[in-house]
Chains A and B, each alone.
With several copies, the nearest count.
Chain A
Amino acid sequence: MTQKSWMYSVFEAVQYEMQQDPAMTWIFELTPPVASNPGLPVINLETEFGRKRVVNTGIDENWMVSAVLGAGLAGSKAATYIPYQGALMPFQVIQNVAGKLRHKTGGIAELPVVWVIEMTGQTPGFGQQHSCYEEDSYYMHIPGVRTVIPSTPYDAKGLMHAALRSSDPVVYLYPAGLRTLTEEVPDEPYEVPLDKAAIRQEGSDLTIVSSGAGMPGVLDAVETLTGEGMSVEVIDLRILKEMDTETIVNSVAKTKRLLTVDQSYYTLAPGAEVVARAAENVEGARFKRVAFPDAPPPASPEMFTWMRLSAEGIAGAARDLV
């Protein structure tokens, strides 16, 4: 076990799977398939596997995603890395082709494909268009596609292995803000299951549910709240589709208080679904949602840092609820 960055952990999984399967391909555009980590060899997929299998293409994210789909249909494991700027360019082909393919063929089509789709780090100054934190909702509504959103290097690696080994298409949301997050990550391959939320902390007063780049702020807030004597149960969704209802409902049944935390816009953020499932299944609970307002993210750092998630905002909402 070594301390590894999120980025390195992801590429370690990809490298391993490409070594195992000589047909597997990787398509990229502006994010080089390169990762380095102190004390470990540099990973460079392009030089290791050559330019027939690892291709640097033009600015056409729809082609990238569609090509990977076609490779999968032809029996080759395939993946691509879509930078956040192009996060929704390939939406239609995922929504109306890929997600429906297995079903429309009566179970015949196999789709061993992974689309890594970046979500921007919440960098002040980037402004409206370079701020795709919102895509989680769009991809989560699609049936037939497993949409995952890791929040730790450990999960990032394990979910990448699981995704690449699955014959279902996987949208692997990559929160760019977590790229340099570091933790102990095993060197050998392992899988994190594609259908289980993670309980990051157990508690009895309140359930907080978040995912992806929302998690660090939640954990900070929870540290404060715990210091104040509140017993918080923290759930990291990890999987948006199929969402792990059981873990959520069991927790809310216990705490009777649910706070959801989303970087996405309030309306129909993943938290809406979490609240709705809990509300359908648990009586007499109380609910609250913290999210980005229903406004595009402004460029001005003053406006933006006030509008995005903060540990204080989360903690304040938690106090209100309990």
Chain B
Amino acid sequence: MTHDLESSRRARDADAPSSESRRGFLKLAALTGAMVSTTGTRALADGDIGFFAKDLSDEKLTGMYRTILRIRWHERTQADEMLTNPDYRGYNHFYAGQEAVATGVCAALRNGGPFDQIDMVYSSHRPSGHAIAKGVDIPKMVAEMDFRSTGMNGGYGAGMHISDPTVGFIGADGMIGPAPVIASGSAFSFRARGSDQVAVVFAGDGNYAAPHFHSTLNNSKLLDLPLIYVCENNLYHQYAHYSYSCPHKDIAEAAAAYGIPTEIVDGQDVVQVYNAAKEAVDRARAGGGPTFIEAKTYRDYNHWGAPGAKAGELGAFGYDPLAITSFRPEREVRAWMQRDPVDIARKILIDWGVLDDAGATTIEEEVKAEIAAAFEWGLSQPLCTPEDGLKHVFATGTVPARQFG
């Protein structure tokens, strides 16, 4: 098993010293600035993409690129398993296309150290990108997703329930609604115990319509909670465009109404995402309360699994057969895929002189090998023992079997 999370964890540590000189920002802005806008109080000059990322170390920036690649190749490999390996039983709600969001946000967080100092991430039904960005052990996640007993969660939870609190990844949640409210509770406890930790929740555009949305924002604002709500607006909930459930063009408008600072960022650009997250984290740690970040993004695959996808190719095409009211047009998919977060990150790093083309390719090859090894290890792990299903209902003991009378 070859995977080296240590270096990337260090790179992702937001508290690492940052001594690098500023870099050529305006140039970058021309590349990526198209979708930038904010509803917050801080107005950006036209073409300016913010400033925090300029001060990051090369190691940290490279780490972000590596993270994006890890998420991407984990997914492509898993999709290929689903499409070609009849013995593979795992599944996922794929995150490909959205990698820059998880990566940029988690790069601004504290992802290691004692549990009472680490920042906490709440994820959704689409968790593998968030999990990797937060630093979970990929081979163990691969094993978990294929229901192996040595998986991250012993094979109990799999795709929609992965969790690793040791890196602050509180975990996936298969339900739409509850996670943001629960995340606000973690933020509540940080404030009550005087900790400078922050809680982050990743939630889709679909979550806007859930009644919990109001509870989360209202209480976070009222109590000034250190909560960062990252709304990944990929335009669709399961089978309908978000305009079927939201009257706002920018969901951030809804948050701004509570008096919460908001940022709308290009979710395909990891640097923009990082900048917004860094500002939010700084504010939250300083007792300034919540921030709402809306990342405009898109998923390359359909809602669930790999229908419409081909092995060895990125993305899924063709209308989702269940989407009757509102389709996801193939042209829309192809247009968004032009703005690939991997490509954008790579271009930025090369443009900034952090990497050259060969260096970027080397990293990509390393990541591919790492992921291949993760699958090799994960899929060779032992299956679960049936009787163990009766464990872990409570902290101690086993519940009785009842299925045989």
Contact = CB atoms under 8 A, between A and B. Distances in A.
| A touches B (Cβ under 8 A) | yes
Q: Of residues A55, A68, A105, which shows the largest number of chain B Cβ atoms within 10 Å of its Cβ?
A: A105
Given A62-B181, A85-B174, A293-B402, A300 B158 contact: yes
Given A67-B219, A70-B199, A293-B399, A129 B173 contact: yes
Given A89-B177, A302-B147, A310-B403, A58 B155 contact: no
B322 A32 contact: yes
A60 interface: yes
Interface residues of B, number: 90
A299 B189 contact: no
Interface stretch (A1-9, A71-79, A178-186): A71-79
A34 B50 CA distance: 48
B178 A66 contact: yes
B147 A85 contact: no
A291 to B, nearest CB: 5
Contact of B184 (A67, A299, A303, A304): A67
B17 interface: no
Interface in B384-402: 384-395, 399-402
Interface stretch (B96-104, B210-218, B264-272): B210-218
Contacts of B326: 56
A102 B387 CA distance: 17
Q: Name the 10 nearest CB pairs between A and B, nearest first.
A: A70-B185, A317-B405, A58-B245, A58-B209, A106-B154, A303-B389, A306-B386, A67-B185, A106-B153, A71-B189
Contacts of B158: 125, 127, 299-300
Interface in B312-333: 322-326
Contacts of B183: 70
B258 interface: no
A320 B222 CA distance: 58
Contacts of B399: 143, 242, 293-295
Given A55-B223, A298-B155, 16 more contacts: A23-B192, A25-B192, A57-B219, A59-B176, A60-B219, A67-B184, A70-B181, A78-B189, A108-B165, A125-B91, A127-B161, A242-B399, A291-B403, A300-B389, A313-B403, A317-B405
Interface string B112-155: 00011000100000000000000000000000000101011111
B311 interface: no
A107 B391 contact: yes
A49 B199 CA distance: 23
A172 to B, nearest CB: 16
Contact of B238 (A30, A298, A313): A30
Nearest to B158: A299
B393 A303 contact: no
Given A71-B189, A300-B384, A127 B160 contact: yes
B165 A109 contact: yes
Interface in A292-322: 292-310, 313-314, 316-318, 320-321
A291 B185 CA distance: 35
B389 A69 contact: no
A70 B192 contact: no
Interface stretch (A92-100, A148-156, A223-231, A232-240): A92-100
B384 to A, nearest CB: 4
Contact of A63 (B116, B149, B211): B211
A313 B403 CA distance: 6
Given A71-B185, A74-B120, A89-B177, A56 B240 contact: yes
Contact of A106 (B156, B244, B401): B156
A313 B174 CA distance: 30
Contact of A75 (B115, B149, B383): B115
A62 B219 CA distance: 12
11 contacts: A52-B191, A60-B215, A60-B245, A70-B182, A70-B184, A93-B181, A105-B156, A128-B157, A293-B401, A314-B405, A321-B405
B379 interface: no
A319 to B, nearest CB: 9
Contact of A313 (B160, B164, B170, B404): B404
Contact of B384 (A30, A290, A302): A302
A94 B260 CA distance: 28
A190 interface: no
Contact of B404 (A60, A110, A126, A317): A317
Given A93-B181, A293-B399, A293-B403, A59 B393 contact: no
A317 B176 CA distance: 39
B246 interface: yes
B155 A106 contact: yes
A53 interface: yes
A4 B209 CA distance: 36
A292 B401 CA distance: 8
B252 interface: no
Contact of A303 (B89, B156, B194, B400): B156
B221 to A, nearest CB: 12
A249 B166 CA distance: 44
A233 to B, nearest CB: 17
B206 interface: yes
A22 interface: yes
B52 interface: no
A293 B390 contact: yes
Nearest to A144: B393
Contact of A58 (B151, B159, B208): B208
Contacts of A242: 394, 399
A303 B176 contact: no
B188 A70 contact: yes
